[in-house]
């Protein structure tokens, strides 16, 4: 199993550009989520999904869109990039109903918005 | 509103010493409390976790202490080693309701263990 994969690893955008961060998992996990990590702020949840076709907002959803058309994929779209979206983005997945199931994190995408 | 509060923000410990990181929460619906370890340039990885029906869980040099009445839990790293230098996140999960499966993270503690 590849686990959770994210592409790209690095990206530089100009303000106003749009892009999609890709996330895929091959563990048949129901639950997938996107976090952003900023110094001193920890991991903040952007959007999450408890299954294909079901998504919900986390604590910092503004400026981001998600969709979940398949169990495996959970792309994160930046609609119009802003310097405040410079961050490291992590995708994670897990089973929902296994009480002690761990969340598996991808390696991250480092995004710089100029 | 920070659902899980973590302290300290940074911690420096001598090799062989004990590292202690504390977390507190308010939501009594939380019933699963994992700790994640993150090395630079990597994603977080599960280190150890506890359910509130026990007061302590130990795995090797890592121990979680849980105080349900105080709504606090802590990570103890015994005989701390330079290889333990990393960022540690506590988290809590609500196993029920509309936020099923969602993890709430503390802001992290950067641990440095000096040789």
pLDDT confidence tier of residue A94, bands split at 50, 70 and 90:
confident
* Contact by Cβ (8 Å): A96, A71: no
Which of A41, A48, A50 comes nearest B107 by C-beta?
Answer: A41
pLDDT per residue over A25-84, tens digit each?
A: 999 998 899 999 998 888 999 999 988 999 999 989 999 999 999 999 999 999 999 999
| pLDDT of A19 strictly over 60 | yes
Residues in chain B closer than 8 A to A48 (CB atoms): 101-102
- Residue B45 burial (CB < 10 Å; 0-12/13-18/19+)? middle
Measured between CA atoms, the residue of chain B closest to residue A44 is: B105
* Contact by Cβ (8 Å): A32, A74: yes
For range B72-96, the mean pLDDT: 94
Residues in chain B closer than 8 A to A43 (CB atoms): 44, 89, 105, 108
Contact partners, residue B77, CB within 8 Å, separation at least 6:
B18, B19, B20, B61, B62, B84, B111
The pLDDT value given to residue B101: 66
| pLDDT of A97 strictly over 70 | no
pLDDT per residue over B4-51, tens digit each?
A: 999 999 999 999 999 999 999 999 888 889 999 999 999 999 999 998
Residues in chain B closer than 8 A to A105 (CB atoms): 36, 43-45
φ, ψ at B97 (rounded to 5°): 75, -165
User: Which of the two residues, B8 and B1, has the higher pLDDT score?
Assistant: B8
Residues in chain A closer than 8 A to B103 (CB atoms): 33, 45, 103
Return the residue in A43, A92, A97 with the most chain B beta carbons within 10 A, the one to mutate for interface testing.
A43
Compute the mean pLDDT over every residue in chain B, rounded to the nearest whole number: 93
| pLDDT of A100 strictly over 90 | no
* Contact by Cβ (8 Å): A103, A16: no
Rounded to a whole number, what is the distance in Å from the CA of A41 to chain B's nearest CA? 5
pLDDT confidence tier of residue A5, bands split at 50, 70 and 90:
very high
Q: Count CA atoms within 13 Å of residue B47 on its CB side.
A: 26
The pLDDT value given to residue A102: 75
What tokens appear for A40 in the block? 């001193």
C-alpha span between A13 and A80 (Å, rounded): 10
CB distance from A54 to chain B under 8 Å?
no
For range A9-23, the mean pLDDT: 97
The pLDDT value given to residue A55: 94
Size of interface A-B (CB pairs under 8 A): 57
The pLDDT value given to residue A99: 54
* Contact by Cβ (8 Å): B15, B80: yes
Asked if the Cβ–Cβ distance from A90 to B42 is below 8 Å, we say no
- Residue A19 burial (CB < 10 Å; 0-12/13-18/19+)? middle
Measured between CA atoms, the residue of chain B closest to residue A93 is: B101
The pLDDT value given to residue B100: 63
Rounded to a whole number, what is the distance in Å from the CA of A82 to chain B's nearest CA? 23
- Residue A40 burial (CB < 10 Å; 0-12/13-18/19+)? exposed
Question: In angstroms, how far is CA A92 from the centroid of its own chain?
Answer: 7
Which of A4, A103, A106 comes nearest B103 by C-beta?
Answer: A103
| pLDDT of B99 strictly over 90 | no
For range A11-28, the mean pLDDT: 96
For range B57-86, the mean pLDDT: 97
The pLDDT value given to residue B103: 86
The alpha-carbon radius of gyration of chain B (Å, integer) is: 14
């Amino acid at each position: 199993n590849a686990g959770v994969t994210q592409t790209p690893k690095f990206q530089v955008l100009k303000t106003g550009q749009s892009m999609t961060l890709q996330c895929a998992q091959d563990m048949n996990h129901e639950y997938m989520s996107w976090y952003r990590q900023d110094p001193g702020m920890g991991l903040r949840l952007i959007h999450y999904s408890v299954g294909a076709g079901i998504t919900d907002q986390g604590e910092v959803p503004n400026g981001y869109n998600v969709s979940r058309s398949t169990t495996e994929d959970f792309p994160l779209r930046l609609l119009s990039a802003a310097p405040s979206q410079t961050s490291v983005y992590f995708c994670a997945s897990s089973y929902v109903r296994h009480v002690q199931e761990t969340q598996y994190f991808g390696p991250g995408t480092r995004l710089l918005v100029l | 509103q920070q659902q899980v509060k973590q302290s300290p923000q940074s911690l420096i410990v001598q090799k062989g010493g004990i590292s202690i990181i504390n977390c507190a929460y308010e939501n009594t619906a939380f019933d699963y409390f994992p700790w994640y370890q993150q090395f630079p340039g990597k994603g977080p990885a599960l280190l150890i976790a506890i359910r509130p029906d026990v007061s302590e869980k130990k795995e090797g040099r890592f121990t979680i202490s849980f105080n349900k009445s105080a709504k606090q839990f802590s990570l103890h790293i015994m005989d701390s080693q330079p290889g333990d230098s990393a960022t540690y996140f506590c988290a809590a999960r609500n196993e029920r309701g509309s936020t099923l499966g969602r993890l709430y993270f503390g802001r992290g503690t950067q641990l440095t263990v000096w040789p």
